[in-house]
Structure 1
Amino acid sequence: MKIALITNYWKNSDGGGVKTYLVNLVDALKNRGADVDVIFRWGDDPEHSCGGKNKIAFPFVCYRQLKMIRPEVIYSQGTWYCLLPGVLYKKLHGCTLVHTFHTEPDRGLPLPARVFFQSLLNACDCVTFVSKKLQERVVEVEGLSFSKTAITYAGVRAGEVTEGEIKRFREQYGIGEDAIVLLAIGMTALPYKAEGLKLLIRAVKILWDTYPNIVLIATREGKYSEELKTFAREVGVEERVVFTGDVENPFVPLKMCDLYTHITLGDGLPLALLEAMAMGKPIVATPIAGIPEAITDGKNGLLVAPEAEQVAEKIGLLLRDREYAERLGRCAKKTVEERFTWEQAAERFLQCYLDGGNVREDQRPVGRSSVEHTWQRE
């Protein structure tokens, strides 16, 4: 099967979880025998094609590339300018077209943009979402509707980390061996994640008196990094919060942390959360978006309302009861092994590709009033 993937973010870009999702999915598809060509807007990869950074020109460069690739399946990501070339190619040459939403919208689309985007989505054989809740939010916030959809969860695997890497990380950021380490990955790039990290910073302030050696590591260099550093200084915990910027191997801080926290006000189903589960870490997270689809409160993690006091209370509970924390971590790892592997993710996508546009009569359209009737393949 020849697949062309069109994406905003690819290798060596600041694409966060979306980039990681796609790189791993492409590897899994290739392992299943698929021939995958990637056309990207941001990144660097000599094995695949860059369509240029101008989002107006990007669809037309992609279309020219598609004519050379001649794919059986086009798989586009997120934005209209990734989807448009796939629609043009399908109408003129024929293929299966699948489009995926990754991130939760923070505001509705203006009417002209919604009508245009809807017309593109109508050409898709299947539209997929990385969580059930994300699908509901796209319908609710953006007012879009879909004739055939699927939920395509990410896969994940635990990363390899050496003791030497951990030692160098501790030395680089001045984190002592006796520190109680909380970790938040990738919370500096989007507004609803940054607001969640502010709540976590306030929680650290509350916990500091009881745990004077507590440290919060916040990774990724994002749009809100400087604002968050200023906020930590204003709250008075500047010395307790370590902003690392982008890290080469995110599994290093994951390996060394005592507790993973994902306090956010919006999301899809964050890959960082699944990676923490794969590493067997106890987790405190907000029950936002797709997170409850992976975390069952009290079974493989703790879910908490987005309030600083309650976040501090849940973190304190796991720091006091290490046996309980370890049990939650073991259950989280088992959940990932059973439900969130890249092999399973590749299989879901291949089923979407192979099914094409053959919608059964009982597969009702998805819109504002009919989310519960979505056709979902899990």
Structure 2
Amino acid sequence: MTTTVPRFGVNYTPSKDWMFQWMAVEPDAVRADFAAIAGLGADHVRVFPLWPVLQPNRTLIRQRALDDIALVADIAAEFELDIAVDVIQGHMSGFDFVPAWLVNWHNGNMFTDQLAVQAQAALVAAVYDAVRDKPNFLGLTLGNELNQFQLPNPAAMPATTEQVSHWLTTLLTAPRDRDPRHVVTHSENDHLWYRDAHPFVPTHASRLGDMTTVHSWIFNGTAARYGALSPQSVRHAEWMIELSKAFATDPARKVWLQEVGAPSMNLAEAEMPEFCARTVEAALTTTDLFAITWWCSHDVSRSLGDYKDLEYSLGLLDTENRVKPVGRRFAELIAETRRSAPSPTPRTVGVVVEVDENDLPLSRVALGPGGATFERWHELREQGVDVAVVTSTAASSRAALEGRGIRLLDHEALA
């Protein structure tokens, strides 16, 4: 168990032209954005070059696009910001960005077509090589929530859990001569945790890659069911962190809260700073927390059409680089945390998730808002219990429980 101060950063949404900035990077615009981000006290940015810009043809990886990633990394270094690069975008803010060689007449499958898998692995390797020597390079994420290319996506690319395992392993091992200081990982939305029959499964998140990433959004039904500032909502990120730990085989595996934000569909603007503070404070009660990376840096400009309304107001900064109230609160939280390092209390009580012989939950619905396991964990947490999550496999193993520091299982705690 480690209790070092986690990193704080932002998911970078350029103030000018949103992610379309990657079609022709404007250094001065990026520089102004990064100056504003650094002013919040952030120590890193996560960036999202678009897949069709990087690899418009299966056998073409554009050198200019790779050079632009390196350029943005250098600009980040000017402001003492480390940079994490997502490779395959993939899915962003309600839009899919898929190169022409995979869609329509070509009708390819990014997860199961071997030539497509090889092409993506080549792209991961190329992006890694483009920034590997940058002193502020933090690492790669394979892409943003690529499990969203499964159902209910209307253009789903079906795959089995075994095929997903092959795809993830192939891409995660693609970088050549890895520097161990660089993180290579992957990300999913909460369908992996909460949706039965989804081919991406919890063990993918918690056992593959250098650390676990979680993306916490209360528009998944949590806010609607319990209230946007309810304990269930402000602890949703904490819950996901603890849930992810249940499926890790390494009890000290790091967890990166890679996305969390304050959606306007659930929160009034005046409520967003409080939601931010309570969410961050709850996350800081967990151990082995690598980073908190807020979604997102900047609002989407109202000049861009067809986004869901919440996308236009998720930023800590507006499109003129002015700090919003939620941005000021996030900056205060960063400073407060660095002044007084968190000291999480060990979690000695475990709520049990029933799993099968492959550590697949018997009911992932039970883990989501309204589910029995979700509600039981939150009930205990509200009572002041420092509660963790364990699988039924781990619950039957004294060594596994001791490795996690679990002394009581839920039914024992209630006796």
For normalisation by structure 2, the TM-score amounts to 0.30
For normalisation by structure 1, the TM-score amounts to 0.32
